[in-house]
Amino acid sequence: MRNFNTLNLVFIFLGGLILLFILAPLLGMFLSTSPIDLFETAKETEVQQSIWLTLWTSIAATLIFSIGAIPLAYIIAKNKFPLKKIVLGIINIPVIIPHSAAGIALLGVISRDTIVGKTAENIGFSFINHPAGIIVAMAFVSIPYLLNSAIDGFYNVPDRLEKVAMTLGASKTKVFFSISLPLAMKNIVTGLIMMWGRGLSEFGAVVIIAYHPMITPVLIYEKFNSFGLSYTKPVTVLFITICLLIFIVMNIISRRKKNVGTR
């Protein structure tokens, strides 16, 4: 029992160091930023536009690409096929490559002299220095979080429930929407939140494709280079605060839906 308590104390100490490592920089930044500076920063049109752009593009990236990501996750989780392990490796590539390199790679597909880029220009827009490019960059680096979480969710759906439903005459489509999707929804919602959060914080890939219009991470970088740390802190604190509030609200909503579904 004594060894167990000692081990717990060691683990608590080490865990506390990790928590301090995470919280100390954030607390220091919040405590060193005055409410007046925060209020004045919040009134700046450039900051408001940047935060709004960051929020809606990250949400758009999550929603648009989830249309394909969720079905792909279902296929991977519920089927055996050749090269499945390779496919699982491919979907995690964006996590391990430098994000500036991801931006360069995306440029090779969506720049103005490519088929995709020329098609976009014929429609009336360009991915370069455009919100569409921001959405693509955010989605590229963040979609593995949704895919991996959704795959885990669909994998945990019992095959016997789907088979019984089909035996009783339900179509594959009905089984997916009435059984598989609801049972995997907790993981899917978690993946959506993680994808949104990762896209929200993206810098490297976005700055390569669309330096302008500036999302908030790019604006923070720009202001830091131009004016230094003192000007950058209020923008950073404001952005983090808004993101945390939205994240908390989304988690509360997802938990309420979970509780309703389990009643």
Q: What secondary structure does DSSP assign to 68-80, as a single string?
A: HHHHHHHHHHH--
What is the reported pLDDT for 57?
97
CA distances from 175 to 18, 152, 163 (A): 44, 18, 9
Residue 246, domain member (yes or no): no
Is the model's pLDDT at 257 over the cut of 60? no
d(CA 165, CA 207): 49
Residue 75, domain member (yes or no): yes
- Sign of the C-alpha dihedral computed for residues 178, 179, 181 and 184 taken in this order: positive
The mean per-residue pLDDT over the stretch 167-193 comes to 92
Residue 111, domain member (yes or no): yes
Say how many C-beta atoms besides its own lie within 10 A of residue 160's C-beta: 8
Q: Which domain holds residue 69?
A: 57-215
Residue 25, domain member (yes or no): no
Residue 24, domain member (yes or no): no
Nearest to 198 by CA among 259, 147, 130, 255: 147
Is the model's pLDDT at 36 over the cut of 70? yes
Give residue-wise pLDDT tens across range 117-146: 999 999 888 999 999 999 999 999 999 999
Q: How many domains does the chain have?
A: 1
The mean per-residue pLDDT over the stretch 35-64 comes to 94
The mean per-residue pLDDT over the stretch 213-231 comes to 92
d(CA 233, CA 41): 10
Indicate the pLDDT class of residue 102, thresholds 50, 70 and 90.
Answer: very high
Q: Which two tokens stand for residue 76?
A: 């991977």
Is the model's pLDDT at 261 over the cut of 60? no
Say how many C-beta atoms besides its own lie within 10 A of residue 179's C-beta: 18
Is the model's pLDDT at 1 over the cut of 90? no
Residue 37, domain member (yes or no): no
The CATH number of whichever domain residue 198 belongs to comes to 1.10.3720.10
Is the model's pLDDT at 10 over the cut of 70? yes
Residue 52, domain member (yes or no): no
Is the model's pLDDT at 229 over the cut of 90? no
What is the reported pLDDT for 258?
56
Residue 211, domain member (yes or no): yes
Contact 208, 193 (CB under 8 A): no
Give residue-wise pLDDT tens across range 12-32: 999 999 999 999 999 999 998
